[in-house]
Each structure stands twice: as C-alpha cells, then as structure tokens.
Amino acid sequence: MTPAIILSTLNAKYIHASLGLRYLLANMERHGGAGLRERTVLREFTIARPVPEIVDALLAEEPQVIGFGVYIWNVEQTTEVVRRLKQARPALKIVLGGPEVSYEWEGQEIVRLADHLITGWGDVSFPKLCRALLDGPPPLMKVIPGEQPALDDIALPYAEFSADDLVHRLLYVEASRGCPFKCEFCLSSLDKTAWAFAPEHFLAALETLYERGARNFKFVDRTFNLKIDSSLTILQFFLDRLTPDLFLHFEVIPDHLPERLKDMIARFPPGDRPLPARRAAVRSRHPDLQSGGSAGHLAPAGQRQNLRKPGLAGQSQPRPPAH
C-alpha cells in the first residue's frame, strides 16, 4: 500500500536509530485517529547519502505528507532535500520538527521552504496535523506550538524498533524528559523541569526489548541520576539480566552520586567493554567537580568514564536531594 505519510530524518550514522520519529510513529493511531498508523512509514537515511538519492527514494513512494526531524548535524542536507522535494512536487506537504527548528526559526531557509513547523513536542501535535492535512480542514497556521501532554498519554515507541535495529543499532531509550538545570548554551535549559515516565511502564518496555534480543541501550535522559531511587531501580533491572554483550550508556552529574548509587554501579563487571559505559557531563566550573569529584570514585570498578567538562557557569538551582 502506498503510504500517505513518511517520517524521515538524516542520521549522523546508520548505527543511530531515531527515537523521536519512533515516538511519532507509535502515537499516530492514538492521537491521529483510526487507520493513521498503517498509512505511515519510517524512512531513515544518513547524512552521507547523496541528496538526489534521498529525494528520489522519497518521491518514489508518492506520499502526501513527509515529516522531517531536523537536527544540528542534518539541517544543511535536509534543507536541500526539502528544496528539491518542493520543486519536484509543490503539492507535497512538508512538516518540520526537532530541536534545530524549534527555536529561533524565523530566519531559517528550511522553515521558509516547508509547509508547517511543529515546535517542541510532536507526539500529539504531529498526528493531529497529519489527520487535518489528509482529511481537512487544513490548518491556517504555519508554525504550530507542540502540545505537551502528560507522559501517560504518550505511547512508548520501543515496539517500533525492528529486529534489524536490535541487532545492528544503538537503541535510544528515555526514563525521563526535560532538564531542571539552566546551562546557558544548552537547549535543554529551556525546559522548566524534568518529567519521569511511569517506572512500571518503562521497565516493562525494557523487558520486552531485552527479551527480543536488545543489548545496546543508550539513555538520552539529560540527567540519569536526577532521582536516585529511579536510577537504582533501572540499574538493578540490568544487574538482574547481566550478559557479556550488555552495553549501557547514560549521562550523569558527578556531584550527585551518593554512596548507594556508586556501590551499585561498581557491581557491574570491568572488562574490554565496561558495564555500564557512561558519559558524565560536568555541568559546573566548581573546583571540586573539575578535579574529578565523585566520578573518580568509579574508576577502580573498571567502568569507563567519558567526562565532558563544558565549563558552564554555576548551577541556577540547588541540587536535588539524594533519595
């Protein structure tokens, strides 16, 4: 069946699988109405793919709507893709979303070329927009502020990872969205707070992924250790399922590592591929953090540390309590 809607993006590499597009795909039926999911397909490319090939591949499916995820690494190529698509088929509806076009979009060429832009969250707004574009009446607004629902109203995307994804690609997962910190040059600082998905639903989704053979998990939570009890629960989930090929990646703030969290991380075995691999983002210029601080405690356990020290100003609010 010819798809009415294509969800597309240009990933940096094949190993990256778009979590955002899979959220949209998972929510097409819930928020767009009956039958919309089966009329939607996912088509991912990489930035190494020539633009003419991408355009030809998309046009060959004769969609009515194409939604693009736009990021800092693909905005240049995606702009050219959109330009050529509109030149070839002016009636084709192009919808944009993603962090690169959600802020200061007014002067961006890609926004001028597209039909619609959804800023912020698209889980609800994109399916609703697609239904309006297909069945009418079409919206008058070009720029549509994304609707932010309660997290329980969002269908989780993990069933949209294919068997091939599980074997060959990093699986991006999130236990929470948003960030409470106000780092000046980070887009996440525009969030008012962080919101956690219901632990029982998230862990059930992880269990299903694990049973399907998933072993590469990359958490995209801005701060994995924001709520210590949640962090411990997730780590215990993986400790109970340790295998030699299990790989975890998450981002922490090193000055919020109480002893019980350090001790649990230390229970993961060392090796050539340490478990869990970890990116500890140092979000301050405080001397005790720059010296390594709490993160240094993890080194004897054999875990790999990937410390980012962007040299930001002091935090704009107190640390959350260790609970």
pLDDT tens digits, 93-117: 999 999 999 998 899 999 999 999 9
Residue corresponding to tokens 């979590």: 19
Distance of CA 184 to the CA centre of its chain: 21
Mean pLDDT, residues 13-33 taken together: 97
d(CA 209, CA 273): 21
d(CA 220, CA 135): 35
- Tell me, which fold does domain 5-151 have in CATH? Rossmann fold (3.40.50)
Task: Give the pLDDT confidence score for residue 303 in this predicted structure.
Answer: 55
Task: Give the pLDDT confidence score for residue 285 in this predicted structure.
Answer: 37
Instruction: Give the number of other Cβ atoms within 10 Å of residue 186's Cβ.
Output: 16
Q: Token pair of 72, please?
A: 């800092």
Task: Give the pLDDT confidence score for residue 152 in this predicted structure.
Answer: 96
Q: Please, are residues 153 and 177 in contact by the beta-carbon 8 Å criterion?
A: no
pLDDT tens digits, 247-287: 999 988 888 889 999 999 889 887 443 344 444 444 443 44
Q: Which of 115, 117, 131, 99 is nearest to 222 (CA)?
A: 99
In the 3-class helix/strand/coil scheme, how is 152-170 assigned residue by residue? HHCCCCHHHCCHHHHHHCE
The rounded mean pLDDT for the chain is 86
Residue 196: burial class (beta carbons within 10 Å; 0-12, 13-18, 19+) = middle
DSSP strand pairing (40-46 vs 65-69): unpaired
Weakest mean pLDDT among 46-60, 182-196, 216-230, 293-307: 293-307
Residue 83 has pLDDT above 90, yes or no: yes
Q: Please, are residues 131 and 101 in contact by the beta-carbon 8 Å criterion?
A: no
pLDDT tens digits, 188-204: 656 667 899 999 999 99
pTM here is 0.86
Reported CATH class of domain 161-308: alpha beta
Please, where in the chain does CATH 3.40.50.280 lie?
Answer: 5-151
Confidence of residue 300 (pLDDT cuts 50, 70, 90): very low
Confidence of residue 297 (pLDDT cuts 50, 70, 90): low
d(CA 6, CA 8): 6
Confidence of residue 238 (pLDDT cuts 50, 70, 90): very high
Task: Kindly tell me the sign of the dihedral angle through the C-alpha atoms of 137, 138, 141, 147.
Answer: positive
Residue 41 has pLDDT above 50, yes or no: yes
Residue 174 has pLDDT above 70, yes or no: yes
Please, where in the chain does CATH 3.30.750.210 lie?
Answer: 161-308
